[in-house]
Amino acid sequence: MGLHYFDKINELLKVVEKEEAPAMAEATALLIEGIEQGRSIYIFGASHAGILVQEMFYRAGGLMTINPIFGKEIMLDNEPITLTSQMERLPGYGTVLANQVDFKEDDILILHSVSGRNPVTIELAMVAQSQGAKVISITNMRYSKSTTSRHPSGKMLYNVSDIVIDNHGDIGDGACEIVGIEQRVGPSSTVIGATILNGIVVEVCQGLVANGMTYPPIFYSANLDGGDTLNQQLYETYKKTIHYRY
């Protein structure tokens, strides 16, 4: 039961590990430099792409200095749920979200969009770059190149990114063929994207320690004795680059 999906995910992970190693190393180096120099790090994704935002935010074993960008109109608790699709396609909405963020020169914005075609994510990248920030995107290049942009500029997310990491999934995101129907099932983007980002986080922390940082900004589990105290101490150290309310 479910072995077909396991096989596909394992296959994709091997492809990503090999093919995206240079881009992931570039992203790792950028994040190490950003943390060491006190730059701010942000992350955004719309609807299901936003699951990776939650994965990177306030997570035991994760980086404390990753700041989420949330838009209420693209969260999955909306009714009707189709509102999320309408809003991520609405030109101007991404600019409104981006203008609520005080991007500075050499800050870092991580974006996740599987198709890379919707205005909300493209506009966040555009605004961030216009203010001197660097953009790291996780997307699906085959998917992106099979379709057209919904943004008035005609650009796709990969066109407005400094570093592009390809999740190598199938067009439409479903990973598994089902005999008797055309639609593939079993989306791969969440598990692949989370593995990419957590893999980068691990390498970033290893790099920070190798460069002499004794206490990298890593969340301790709040369910461990002493975890709250340790997190508060780290917060005090890194609070200049933490923009969410702690």
Q: Residues 66-90: what's their mean pLDDT?
A: 97
Mean pLDDT of 77-99: 97
pLDDT digits 0-9 by tens, 8-41: 999 999 999 999 999 999 999 999 999 999 999 9
- For residue 174, what are the β-bridge partners? 187
Q: Where are the beta strands (DSSP E) in the chain?
A: 41-45, 66-68, 108-112, 134-139, 163-166, 174-176, 185-187
Q: Domain residue spans in the chain?
A: 3-241
Angstrom distance (rounded) from CA 106 to CA 127: 13
**46's torsion region: left (phi>0), alpha (psi -120 to 50) or beta?**
beta
**Average pLDDT for residues 206-222, to the nearest whole number?**
96
The arithmetic mean of pLDDT across residues 168-177, rounded, is: 96
pLDDT for residue 192 is more than 90: yes
Average pLDDT taken over every residue of the chain: 97
Q: How many CB atoms lie within 10 A of CB 80?
A: 8
Whether residue 80 is predicted with pLDDT greater than 70 in this model: the reply is: yes
The share of the chain scoring above pLDDT 70, in percent, equals 99
For the cut 70, the answer to whether the pLDDT of residue 201 exceeds it is: yes
Q: What single DSSP character describes residue 226?
A: T
pLDDT band for position 218 (50/70/90)? very high
Architecture of domain 3-241: 3-Layer(aba) Sandwich (3.40)
Helices then strands, each counted (H, E), the chain: 9, 7
Question: Could you give the 3-state DSSP secondary structure of residue 148?
Answer: coil
Is residue 176 pLDDT above 90, yes or no?
Answer: yes
Q: For residue 212, is pLDDT > 90? A: yes
Helices 189-210 and 3-19: crossing angle, nearest 10°? Answer: 40
The pLDDT score that the predictor gives to residue 3 is 74
State mean pLDDT over 125-149. 98
pLDDT reading at 2 higher than 90: no
Compute φ and ψ for 3, nearest 5 degrees: -65, -30
The pLDDT score that the predictor gives to residue 1 is 58
Q: In whole angstroms, give the CA distance from residue 81 to residue 75.
A: 9
At 52 the pLDDT is 98
